[in-house]
Amino acid sequence: MANSKYEYVKKFETDDRLPPSSWIVVRIDGCHFHQFSAEHAFEKPNDENALNLMNSCAVSMLEQFPDIVFAYGVSDEYSFIWKETTQFYQRRSSKLLSLSVSYFTSVYVMKWKEFFPHKELKGPPYFDGRVVCYPRAKIVQDYLAWRQVDCHINNQYNTCFWMLVKSGKTQREAQELLKGTQAKDKNELLFQQFNVNYDKLPQMFRKGSCVYRKKVEEVVKLDDTGNPVTRTRSKVVVEHMDIIGPKFWSELPYILKEECD
């Protein structure tokens, strides 16, 4: 950049580089998505196409930004875990946040027709975001456990709420009926009134979505005798499982492997 008398304005910029040797979580959240989902007639309590669209955007994020090692999503929210050693844009918070939010939003718009071929996008979707640093992988695991617990609590409530509304209750009546209820009460309500076993609902609804790189065997060609030739490669996958307990993390330790002392 050429020198000029106006360069003094740069002194007002702040250094927003995030602390070194820490895991970076970028969480994005849909803005006014209650209105957006109503305008586009999303199925309640869960619209499978809308969730799969969010998941597809998250896959694109991991493909675009190699330093994202894991993502977890539920409803209109996604958390992206950047590895502790990343030097992407010198770890500047403003760059990490703005690029994450803008890229995710752009992909959401571009992929809309793939998941809603018969629905026009009536208004621009937009997301807010925040950045938080965590010094240890264990704290990142606890953060993700917190989000998955929230997924269960919110989904169980919303499932009961919308089943009541669809059965003829007003929204106010449904809220009053659910006030003060515990998890076991909601499970009983679903089973006794609607013959719904909550534990049999799709895992994507109950547990959210995990996006990460997984080593998979893929057929690359057939040999001269017609037998498949396979290669192991890293592929971004979407899965729905428990990440609160230690099993997932002990089986895939490379995801949150700590490289800094």
Give the mean pLDDT of the chain: 95
Predicted confidence band of residue 259 (pLDDT cuts 50, 70, 90): confident
Residues in the chain: 261
CB hemisphere CA count around 57 (13 angstroms) = 32
Which pLDDT does position 221 carry in this prediction?
80
**pLDDT of 173 strictly over 70:** yes
CB 230 within 8 A of CB 215: no
The structure tokens listed for 225 are: 């005798």
**Kind of pairing, strands 127-134 and 68-74?**
unpaired
**pLDDT of 2 strictly over 80:** no
The structure tokens listed for 163 are: 């089943």
Which pLDDT does position 3 carry in this prediction?
79
Predicted confidence band of residue 140 (pLDDT cuts 50, 70, 90): very high
CB 181 within 8 A of CB 156: no
d(CA 147, CA 72): 8
* Nearest CA-CA partner of 80 in 20, 24, 150: 24
**pLDDT of 212 strictly over 70:** yes
Query: Is the full-model pTM beyond 0.85?
Result: yes
Which pLDDT does position 95 carry in this prediction?
97
- What pLDDT digit, counting tens, does each position of 174-205 carry? 999 999 999 999 999 999 999 999 999 999 99
d(CA 60, CA 246): 27
Which pLDDT does position 74 carry in this prediction?
98
- What pLDDT digit, counting tens, does each position of 64-123 carry? 999 999 999 999 999 999 999 999 999 999 999 999 999 999 999 999 999 999 999 999
d(CA 23, CA 250): 19
Q: Pick 207 or 258 by higher pLDDT.
A: 207
Q: How big is the CA angle at 148 (ends 178 and 69), to the nearest 5 degrees?
A: 160
Predicted confidence band of residue 232 (pLDDT cuts 50, 70, 90): confident
CB 28 within 8 A of CB 77: yes
CB 194 within 8 A of CB 43: no
CB 28 within 8 A of CB 101: yes
* Nearest CA-CA partner of 182 in 148, 153, 149, 205: 153
Which pLDDT does position 258 carry in this prediction?
85
- What pLDDT digit, counting tens, does each position of 19-46 carry? 999 999 999 999 999 999 999 999 999 9
Which pLDDT does position 78 carry in this prediction?
98
Rounded CA Rg of the chain: 22
Helix axes of 93-115 and 48-64: crossing angle, nearest 10 degrees: 130
Q: Pick 258 or 123 by higher pLDDT.
A: 123
Predicted confidence band of residue 1 (pLDDT cuts 50, 70, 90): low
d(CA 147, CA 136): 17
